[in-house]
Amino acid sequence: MSENSQHDKSQESAEREEKHKRKSQKQKEKVDAKVAKATIEKGVMIVVTGNGKGKTTSGFGTVCRCVGHGYKAAVVQFIKGKWDCGERDLLEGHGVPFAVMGTGFTWNTQDRAGDIAAAEAVWTEAKKFLADPQYHLVLLDELTYMLGYDYLDKEEVLSTIANRPENQSVVVTGRGAIRELRDMADTVSEVKEEKHAFKAGIKARKGVDW
């Protein structure tokens, strides 16, 4: 390689580096400005919905983050049955209380009255968590189904969440979140399914899917 060619490549490299620095600096300034504007201190409501996999996983990830920082969290599981739950096995050992509906999927029970009674019983426990300021975070896993199926009184659920302690955060998961939940949430994430192993005949994996 000639001396001129080496010089040209060095100059191009320096110009790319300078361009990258200018672009990064502009991005940093934008991010810093947004961070500076976020001055409100309060608990948030997060809704994770959609037809893709990972909604409950996201909720439990937030619970783990909360507990990892030394805060208290509580978990309410609607729909879920009595089968093993790796997250529950782990988190109960770290002092996280669980209230579990325990009936499984409604299409398995085929008992609407029984499902409603079970939902109302677990909602009674949820209301205790949502009224207790010691809990930094409450996960309401699969709550969306309870509202979509009219198993719980919508107005009571919305009012209880809205009137929780000011610094308490709530994560609601499940498909088909109703408009009222989305509207009152601070953050809404829609999980979209592109592919799913189950549809290819692959069994759910312990330690991965449950």
The residues carrying an active-site annotation are 51, 53, 55-57, 65, 105, 107, 142
Measure the CA–CA gap between 98 and 90, rounded to whole angstroms: 12
How far apart (Å, rounded) are the C-alpha atoms in residues 167 and 171?
A: 13
Q: Is 72 helix (H, G, I), strand (E, B) or coil?
A: strand
Spatial CB neighbours of 101, under 8 Å, sequence gap ≥ 6: 77, 78, 79, 80, 118, 119, 121, 122
Residue pointed to by tokens 């504007």: 37
- Across 101-208, where does the E strand assignment appear? 135-141, 169-173, 187-190
Alpha-carbon gap, residue 200 to 180, rounded angstroms: 35
